[in-house]
Amino acid sequence: MTSNEDQNELLLRYLDGSLDPSDQAMVADLLRGDAGARAFLRGVAEQAVVVADVERIDQHKPQPAKVATPEFHPWKWAAAAAAALVFLAAFVIAGIPPGHVAKVSAVLGPCQYIAADGKVQNEVKVGSVLNIGDTIRTRSSSAWVKLDLSGGSLMTIAGRTQLRLLNVNGRRGFQLAYGNLWATVAESVGAKTFSIQTPTSTVEAKSAQFDIEAHSTMSIVRVNSGLANVERLADGQTVDIAADHQSIVPISRNREFAVMRQPKPVNNWNCHLLAGPGAVMGNWLPADEKNSVRLGAKPLLIGKKATIHVANFSVQCSGSPAVLIENGSKVRVTGNTQTENPIYLGLTTQRIKGGFFGKYIAKVEAEALGQAGEPWQVEVPLSKFEPKTEHLPDLPIGMELTDIWVFSPEENAKLEIHRVEFLPKEVGQ
Amino acid sequence: MSLSVLFTVALTEQDILQRLMSQRDRVSAAAWLVVRNAHTAEDIFQNVALKAMSKRTQFESDGALMSWAFITARREGIDWLRRQKNAPICLDDTILELLEHEWVDEAAAQGGIRGQALRDCLEELPTTSRDLLKRRYFDGHACEEVAAQLGAGLDAVYKRLSRLHQSLRICIETKLAQPAG
């Protein structure tokens, strides 16, 4: 072996995290003084990301159907018998309840972990491992949790969402009781199909990137790459959803259950509170002389002795095409509060045809709402929103709007919402 | 004195995106050196691109943009490491800066053609070599796990990987030395 080869292997061991501190110091000295070693390291890093990129693209290419020609030789009988034994053993092993786990790789906001044995933890830490039967809940509109499912598969749940790991025969099972989930299911050797149950559907995928919004009476499944199979629980009807397509799965068998192409994104949105089911959280209030539509904020316990009052409006549930966030976009909300306290507006964002991106929040000071008890209308430019985590860019420009939430920490404010709009940048802006 | 010295013109949003996309492999690679996970590195590159687009500061040259992109990718990577349990130990900042300067210089000299050469070289690799790289860098398994999966010795895996990286490097240099067309 040449000294260069020794050096290169040492660098690979370093990248692998398998060197002790004295060897790590040696690597640091080597990299400071040897341009050749640095060039090798840069090369490895470039090759690592390009290998991953090429594999990602390959996995999304349609696989040609393989036609096998039957051909059998006597010597293969022995091999076949051995294979049968292995198959039998595998079958027996498959009969044992399979275990699958999910590791929390990132977490933000109030969350709750309920172990299969009923033990409850009101704090979820990065590195926590969920086993079959365990449940994780994100408890406020601004919370999210990212789960690493090994083999390149990932899931993010966000907003008010509850996810449980299930024991489903031959599959990696999950129950999405309610809320939003973004999943990247990477096809890897020996990987099992993912099976996600919602109140109205079962979604199965082996290699796909998709998102699900689940409510008690309907689920919306959007596939951005790969393929997912969806069964409507009401009648067992199934559909395949290919990339760039979506389906709404209603609980009623009398309502349409079909696959449609995802419509082109638009740059504005009006929640149309009366016309569609866009308001996904809140209590409907009786009409008064000024407003025929009034959605009262709903109390939400987000931790010990901490309650906020929230109304939430979902783009997908409203039936709108995807809404693109542009530089100069604005959120306009009309409502009423009974006290002079600030309110907060939040945006959930995701990548266009991709996974969860992040949460942004803006505070609206009490002065901007005018006199208590009087209806107000506020327009908050995108530039006033701030990311909930440092990791995020200052503004979610170029992302897709998932939902808008409005909350007040004050119960006495009696926050109610009459209208929610997402406006494009003004011409000439 | 030429006009270009008197007036510096800021890069437009389109210029920024075009420059960043042409250097995607290098910026992602710089992030990978910090986080050692190709999927996170890709996420970091996307965040860098978005930050560049929504940033109020103007970039007056490709060099300024690339220096900012490498520094931002490094910071995002370090932030990500802080949130991880059992995160890999990060290289010293001075070493990362050295590597980034070399990347910026190389980007100015070669543009984005190196990435295409690397993809062509990967296409030419035997299936077993592609499989080894996939297990290590796409599936994200440590060499010890890869050795166990393949029923090979750990030293043998390091040796094969080291030679594979070296042969890819030679393949890229050969392709870049060939006249275009």
Interface residue B159 vs chain A (CB under 8 A): yes
B33 CB neighbours in chain A (<8 A) are 41, 45
CA-CA distance, A219 to A209, in Å (whole number)?
Answer: 17
Mean pLDDT value across residues B71-94: 83
* Contact yes or no for B41/B31 (Cβ under 8 A): yes
- Do A243 and A273 have their domain in common? no
Query: Between chains, do B91 and A48 touch, taking CB under 8 Å as contact?
Result: no
B88 at the A interface (CB within 8 A)?
yes
Are A233 and A309 in the same domain? no
Rounded to two decimals, the pTM is: 0.53
Q: Does A205 touch chain B (CB under 8 A)?
A: no
Q: How far apart are CA A197 and CA A176, in angstroms?
A: 6
- Is B139's CB within 8 Å of A395's CB? no
Are residues A226 and A353 in contact, defined by beta-carbon separation less than 8 angstroms? no
Residue among B41, B85, B88 minimizing CB distance to A49:
B41
- A355-394 residues touching B, CB cutoff 8 A: 390-394
B38-54 vs B62-82: helix crossing angle, rounded to 10: 130
Listed by number, the residues of chain B in 22-81 with a beta carbon closer than 8 Å to a beta carbon of chain A are: 25-26, 28-30, 32-33, 36, 38-39, 41-42, 46-47, 50-51, 53-55, 76, 79-80
Clarify whether residues A297 and A219 are in a common domain: no
Cβ-Cβ contacts under 8 Å, B147 against chain A: none
- What's the domain count of chain A? 3
- Side chain identity at residue A353, one-letter code: K
The minimum CA-CA distance between B7 and chain A, rounded to whole Å, is: 26
Structural domain includes residue A356: yes
Q: Is-contact A170 A152, C-beta < 8 A?
A: no
Give me the tens of pLDDT residue by residue for chain A, a chain 429 residues long: 445 888 999 999 999 888 888 888 999 999 999 999 999 999 999 999 999 888 877 654 444 433 333 343 444 434 444 444 444 444 333 433 346 889 998 888 889 999 988 888 888 888 889 999 999 999 887 788 999 887 778 899 988 899 999 988 888 999 999 999 999 888 776 678 899 999 999 999 988 899 999 988 889 999 988 899 999 998 899 999 998 899 999 888 888 888 998 888 888 888 766 555 778 888 888 888 878 788 999 998 877 778 899 999 988 888 888 898 988 899 999 999 999 999 999 999 988 777 788 899 999 999 999 898 999 999 999 999 998 877 778 888 888 999 999 999 999 999 999 999 999 887 665
Residue A222 covered by a domain: yes
3-state SS, residue B109: helix
3-state SS class at A17: coil
**CATH number of the domain within which A371 lies:** 2.60.120
A93: in domain: no
Do A169 and A33 reside in the same domain of the chain?
Answer: no
Of A215, A231, A261, at which residue does a domain stop? Answer: A261
How far apart are the C-alpha atoms of A311 and A290, rounded to whole Å?
A: 20
| A115 and A257 co-located in one domain | yes
Integer angstrom CA distances of residue A362 from A209, A302, A381, A411, B110: 30, 19, 9, 19, 44
User: Tokens 């031959």 identify what position?
Assistant: A170
Higher model confidence: residue A53 or residue B131?
Answer: B131
Q: Is the residue at A86 inside a domain?
A: no
Q: Is residue A203 part of a domain?
A: yes
| Cβ–Cβ under 8 Å, residues A210 and A221 | yes
CA dihedral B11, B17, B23, B24 (to 10 degrees): 150
Specify the DSSP element, H or E, that contains A208: strand A201-214
Does residue A315 sit in the same domain as residue A405? yes
- CA distance between the termini of chain A: 64
Claim to verify: residue A161 and residue A188 sit in the same structural domain: yes
Give the separation between CA A146 and CA B59, rounded to whole angstroms: 34
Q: Which residues of B touch A39 (CB under 8 A)?
A: 102
Do A248 and A107 reside in the same domain of the chain?
A: yes
Distance from CA of A119 to the nearest CA of B (A): 23
CA of B127, closest CA in chain A: separation in Å? 13
- Contact yes or no for A105 and B84 at CB 8 A: yes
ipTM of the prediction greater than 0.90, yes or no: yes
- Residue ending a domain, choose from A230, A261, A292: A261
The DSSP code for B88 is P
Do A341 and A228 lie in one domain? The reply is no
Inter-chain CB proximity B29 and A48 less than 8 Å: yes
Based on the fold, state whether residues A273 and A228 are members of the same structural domain: no
Domain B112-181 part of CATH 3.40.190.10: no
The tokens 């002389």 sit on which residue? A289
Q: Are A172 and A100 in contact (CB under 8 A)?
A: yes
**What part of A 8-47 touches B (C-beta under 8 Å)?**
8-9, 12-13, 15-18, 24, 28, 31-32, 35, 38-47
A218-232 and A298-303 as β-strands: parallel, antiparallel, unpaired?
A: unpaired
| A12: nearest CB among B28, B89, B158 | B158
Distance of CA B20 to the CA centre of its chain: 12
Whole-number mean pLDDT of chain B? 84
A118 inside 8 A of chain B by CB? no
Q: How far is B53 from chain A (nearest CA, A)?
A: 8
Q: Are residues A296 and A389 in the same domain?
A: yes
Lowest mean pLDDT among A15-24, A410-419, B52-61, B117-126: B52-61
Torsion, Cα B41 A47 B130 A61, to 10 degrees, reads 50
Count of A-B CB contacts under 8 Å: 150
Q: Nearest chain A residue to B76 by CA: give it.
A: A391
Chain A residues near residue B115 by CB distance under 8 angstroms: 46, 50
Q: Which residues of A touch B47 (CB under 8 A)?
A: 391-393
Query: What secondary structure letter does DSSP report for A383?
Result: G
Return d(Cα B180, Cα A172) in angstroms, integer: 49
Q: Residue A325's domain spans which residues?
A: 269-423
Structure tokens at A58: 């390959």
Inter-CA distances, A230 with A195, A224, A239, Å: 10, 15, 5
Query: Could you tell me if A232 and A115 lie in one domain?
Result: yes
What is the pLDDT, as a whole number, of residue A60? 46
CA distance, residue A82 to nearest chain B CA (Å): 20
pLDDT at A79: 42
